[in-house]
Chain A
Amino acid sequence: MTLMLFSGLAVLLLTALIWALRAPSRSSRGNFDLNALEQPNRRHATYLSLVRHAASSDDLAFLSKRGYAKLQSRLHRERRKVVLLYLDQLRCDFEQLTRTARAIAALSPSVGVRQEFQRAQLSFEFLARYYAIRLAFGWGFVPIAQLSQLSQVVSQLSIQMETSMKEFGERAAMAARTASSPLDGNDAGVV
């Protein structure tokens, strides 16, 4: 029993080791993809109000009252598609933000453990909500309140990133000032 347990753990560790040592894919290598930041379609959270409107039942109730049952079901289907597309794009936004956050952390001379844990927690929270919403959609619900929460998580992350970038900038500026100082001992001021 113990042999099985420890052998299993060793196999698990070896699998994790192989995965960790695998060369990162071209897209996820340490360098920034600056063009990705300029893509106009990346801020999908901005469409939340439209999606909220698309997911509301008022229009469907109106069509139902008027007797357009076919149109109502078609509209319902189309709108569900739109909301699901929005959800997927929101996830893309989030992944883009976390990728940038990781790249900034990797370049930063100092990384806050608490901040990184917070980011990991936020990522976990986001994914849990994302899958919960998708599951709810699968069962025919339109959980618009959860969708708003999900957008809020993306927003929270962006605020957190802005703070870390500010700190990062201050440190970089300080390093640049120190490097360019004539009293830094690099003979820069000696004629």
Chain B
Amino acid sequence: MFAWYMGLNLAQAMIMVEVYSHFGFNSGPSYRIYWATQVIVMIVQTLASTEILHRALEDYPGIWELVWRVILFAIIAIIGYAWATANSKDGWGLWAVHRGYYFTFAVAFVLCLLVVRHYSISIDPVYKVLLGGFCLYSCGVIVADTLVKSLFLQNFSRYSDVWNGFELLLFFAVLLVWVVALRHPVRVSASSQPSQATGGAYESVSPQVNASLREMNDTLRKFFGKQAA
């Protein structure tokens, strides 16, 4: 899916070069074609990053269960926000949705990564860089989308150049980091024997923890019993 995302980004860039040279940057068709292709890129970005996170958490199905719920909630929030804002009268509806998407994306994936950290799960550095790149790019887009409206409202004539340049620079920076990260092989998952590993860890840990907890509980129960008496 990540390869699809990269391919689609490239294809979108090539299509837009043709469209802009044919119709011009500020024309209606350019605007419609850009947003139509952008929606596809955004959907594929979500799928690609979800797939990366799934791969990273392959050995932790319980945590993946928690994490996909966060992503699902984010998707519902994006759809709801898009529904409410896309038809706004001031002509900035699509920009608001675009920014809303990247904002929700960044919040959802940063939350997922925080959940992963909370459970002290060590994920492969390659996955970390890929997910971090997506989040970094999303944060940049949030700023760029806000900046473009601000510049337009201040009657700055080259607002579109600033927006284009900022996003392009950011994308190339993220791309560079991804290229460097993908030169290293991804660690092989230990999920080939999941049940044995899980059962083994449980069997060794559980009796010790249980004994400690039971002792703690018994003492507290005795104390509270005495207090009640």
Contacts and interface: CB of A to CB of B under 8 A. Distances in A.
A143 B113 CA distance: 39
B149 A2 contact: yes
Contact of B219 (A43, A99, A175): A43
B4 to A, nearest CB: 24
B204 A34 contact: yes
A172 B103 contact: no
B146 interface: yes
B146 A24 contact: no
A21 B120 contact: no
B110 interface: yes
Contacts of B206: 165, 168-169
Nearest to A161: B213
B208 A104 contact: no
A3 B147 contact: yes
Interface in B73-106: 99, 103, 106
- Classify the interface of chain B: helix, strand, loop or mixed: helix
Interface stretch (B9-17, B33-41, B59-67, B159-167): B59-67
B142 interface: yes
Contacts of B189: none
Given A111-B62, A155-B220, A158-B217, A24 B120 contact: yes
B166 to A, nearest CB: 12
A24 B175 CA distance: 26
Interface string A90-107: 000100010110111111
A71 interface: no
B119 A168 contact: no
Nearest to A176: B199
A162 B110 contact: no
Contact of A179 (B195, B208, B227): B195
B220 A102 contact: no
Nearest to B200: A172
Contacts of A116: 66
Interface in A165-191: 165, 168-169, 172-173, 175-176, 178-179
Residue from A14, A99, A106, A155 with most neighbouring chain B CB atoms (10 Å): A106
Nearest to B63: A106
Given A105-B62, A110-B62, A154-B216, A34 B208 contact: yes
Contact of A172 (B199, B208, B209): B199
A13 interface: yes
A7 B146 contact: yes
Given A20-B114, A176-B199, A9 B216 contact: no
Interface of A: 2-3, 6-7, 9-10, 13-14, 16-17, 19-24, 28-30, 32, 34, 37-38, 42-43, 45-46, 48-49, 93, 97, 99-100, 102-111, 113, 116, 148, 151-152, 154-155, 158-159, 161-162, 165, 168-169, 172-173, 175-176, 178-179
Task: Give 10 closest A-B pairs by Cβ, nearest first.
Answer: A111-B62, A20-B113, A175-B195, A158-B213, A46-B219, A172-B199, A6-B146, A10-B139, A108-B62, A106-B119
Given A22-B117, A113-B66, A165-B206, 18 more contacts: A7-B146, A20-B110, A21-B131, A29-B122, A37-B209, A37-B212, A102-B120, A106-B60, A108-B62, A110-B62, A110-B65, A154-B216, A155-B220, A162-B213, A162-B217, A169-B206, A172-B195, A179-B195
